[in-house]
Amino acid sequence: MAPYLLLVLHTLFFLTGLSGIHGVSTVSHVSVREGGSITIPCLYHHGSEKHVKYWCNGYFFNFCSTLIRTDSQSASNWLSIADHVTTRVFTVTMKNLQLGVSGYFWCAVEKGDTTYLYLSVATGTAGLYVDQQHVTGVEGQSVTVNCNYRNSGDFCWCRLGGSCVERSVGNLDGASVELKRILANGEKVMIVTMSQLKIKNTGWYWCAVGDLQMPVHITVNQPTTTQSNTTTTNQNNGGTDEKRQKRIQSLLVVLLIPLSLLVVVIAVTLLTWKMLRKHEDKKAKDQPANTSVQSADPEQNITYSIVSHIRGSTQQGLNPESHGDLYSTVIPKQHRTAQRAAEPGDVVYSTMAQHQR
């Protein structure tokens, strides 16, 4: 029923002249969950910068109750007002909203310009809401706003006091706008993307689905020194992505030739080394094995001899002078490979037999 009452009020006040409805602009119908907060922007005419602004509640402006004024703000935990003279916007922030707060509110300027909106407080999820009302972007880049909604109807993205984008793509004050509806985690979302931002795009906007609107403030900052240098370098090095891609391809071709040669050289070197090593291994296998064994200790070279003693029937003494000549056959023990002359210190073993004359 609220949208119909809004239409009746707009017509009534416009015809009776009780409202300077064209002097102030704001949204017409917002929804907030119970216990939530919201900031309402009110855009006023040039020339009203020095006038007092205030916020009141009631069906009719002449009988509404003033809640807060810019010239006499009382301490309040749930309500505040601020006048931004440079942008000619005063904002009203309401916190911890309860069900009984639902109703009509008025943006008013002391000289007589007014406009109104309907605020509905929902027990559950609001009909249309955003994650945050204040979004920051950088000049030349983009920002994204997710407008979550439960109601149905046409959707659009508008600048407060300006024009709207009602289709999937459009333009607002030099910035490109893209609108896309999706279903995320069972919730309907309208994604608003503003790209190619300019400083002049700073201001209040609102997304709308059906009869509900939700105001969002976008602040566009100048890029930092690092970002500016990066942008300038990119422009000097080619400008467009296509040119950068071509440069990258040319660089790859230039690098590919020496890299290919290097790979070939490494492969040939490894192959040559492998063949040489294989040849050496084969040569080592063809040589005869050295089976000679030599004693490590010269003193182990022992000479053995067999001495035959020819004697009579009776055993005689071994004295050669009394019993005759002694004959011995000395047979040196040879190693498997070579003989050597006996050296002093070698031990000679012999067996002797006496030969009788």
Q: What is the pLDDT of residues 281-301, one digit of tens each?
A: 777 776 655 544 444 444 455
pLDDT class for 246, splitting at 50, 70, 90? Answer: confident
Mean pLDDT comparison of 25-34, 180-189, 221-230, 322-331, highest-scoring range: 25-34
* Cβ contact 147:182 at 8 Å: no
pLDDT mean over 39-62: 95
* Cβ contact 117:28 at 8 Å: yes
What is the pTM assigned to this prediction?
Answer: 0.59
CA 44 to centroid of chain Cα atoms? 44
* Dist. CA 303–CA 150, nearest whole Å: 118
Tell me what the pLDDT averaged over the chain comes to.
78
Whole-number percent of the chain with pLDDT over 70: 68
* Dist. CA 253–CA 19, nearest whole Å: 73
What letter does residue 73 receive in the DSSP assignment?
P
CA 7 to centroid of chain Cα atoms? 50
What digits encode the pLDDT tens for the residues 161-174?
A: 999 999 899 999 99
What pLDDT is recorded for position 64?
95
- What are residue 102's phi and psi, to 5 degrees? -55, 140
Residue 348 reports pLDDT greater than 70: no
Name the helix (H) or strand (E) containing 145.
Answer: strand 143-149
- Stretch among 45-54, 204-213, 303-312 having the lowest mean pLDDT: 303-312
Token pair belonging to 160: 């407060």
What pLDDT is recorded for position 10?
45
CA separation (Å) from 286 to 235, 272, 290? 71, 22, 12
* Cβ contact 18:62 at 8 Å: yes
What pLDDT is recorded for position 289?
54
Give every CB contact of residue 254 below 8 A, 6+ residues apart in sequence.
none
pLDDT class for 343, splitting at 50, 70, 90? Answer: low
- What are residue 200's phi and psi, to 5 degrees? -70, -10
